[in-house]
Amino acid sequence: MLCLKQSSFGFLAQRYIRLHRSLALLALLVVALLIIGTAAWSQSQPSAKPETQSSSQTVTTSGKGEGAPYSMRVTVPLVTLDVSVLTENRYFVPELKKENFHILEDGVPQTVASFSERHGAITVVLLVEFTADLSLTQRNALRASYRFTKTLRNEDWVAAILFDRHLHIVQDFTQDKSAVQEVLTKVELPLSREINMFDALIETLDRLQQVEGRKYIVLMASGQDTFSKAVLDDVLKRLEMSKDTVIYSIATGHGLNHLQADNQMSAFARMTGGRVFFPFSEEEYGDAFRDIGQTIRNHYLLSYRPTNKTQDGNWRAIKVTVVNPAESAPGSKDDIGRKYQVIVRQGYRAKRPGE
């Protein structure tokens, strides 16, 4: 009996070892498939240089006594701003220097950590309200969207999304502008008169979280909402947390005495560092898109490390101004302290501990 028990134990042990090895091989296979899947998803998304929101620094210090120095790694937040500087005629002001920018966070001066002037590729989403209550302004918006796609370059990424009571991705991100033009010319009249602008904007922002780098949303809408589950406060809170997406609003309902709707379209652009337009004619829609194309393709990128490092989840107000270089005299040809329009997001919400 003892021999039988020992023999049975040896047999079970061997089965356990074989089972353990099989499970280990299966786990390795699953990990490998996950890595391959993640790489494939990344390659399918528009890629741009990622905007760093925080950085790690290693601080070497020593305690009291004769102990050896030790290293401590801390995370220092880095705020990156997309800044446009325009003349009175809405032209981009090039060749400014780091010394020409003055940053305030909650009224406290900040030191510019990095600075660059950008004239590169763009990643943009055309988010268009398109309901069964089709108006001339909606038709003008679609025509202007088509004309905007003609200004895109080969390296640009663009997606087109329509919304009524639902969100319709008619064209996912592509560098083939002819594909976007084709879907815009074949848009069918929707059946719903309901508008879910809040839900559509939040869902678009969530989708863009998976895309690296600076992104732009061109929102063409009346500013009204009749069907969303979300409310205006939900959208505003979501915009406060979105640090690398800029919204340009084109209000298609301007002149219809919907003051709140116009104010909402203005707020979306102002909070994120974009602009709002109130066109009436097809020509004015074209002018709006030309301004947007010039602004998003030409801008400055500024970064700074906030002096207030408290992680309290509070709102931080930002103000950027263009100032004179120290060596220039007011009124001289080098005086750039004229009233240029500086377009930048209004602020950001600080992280909370553990985020």
Q: Which CATH fold topology does 123-297 show?
A: Rossmann fold (3.40.50)
> Which position has the higher pLDDT, 47 or 115?
115
Total residues found in the chain within this entry: 355
Full-model pTM: 0.72
- Ranked by mean pLDDT, the top range of 208-212, 258-262, 304-308 is 304-308
* Average pLDDT for 288-293: 89
Banded model confidence at residue 329, pLDDT cuts 50, 70, 90: low
Q: Is the pLDDT of residue 316 over 80?
A: yes
Domain boundaries, the chain: 69-117+300-349, 123-297
More confident position, 34 or 192: 192
Question: Looking at residues 238-262, what average pLDDT do you find?
Answer: 86
What is the predicted pLDDT for the residue at 28?
52
Residue 2's pLDDT is: 33
Say which residue, 200 or 324, is predicted with more confidence: 200
Residue-wise pLDDT for 32-70, tens only, equals 544 444 444 344 456 433 343 444 444 344 444 444 444
Averaged pLDDT for residues 142-157: 87
**Which range among 19-33, 126-140, 296-310 shows the weakest confidence by mean pLDDT?**
19-33
Q: What is the pLDDT of residue 51?
A: 40
Q: What is the mean pLDDT of the chain?
A: 79
pLDDT, position 213? 85
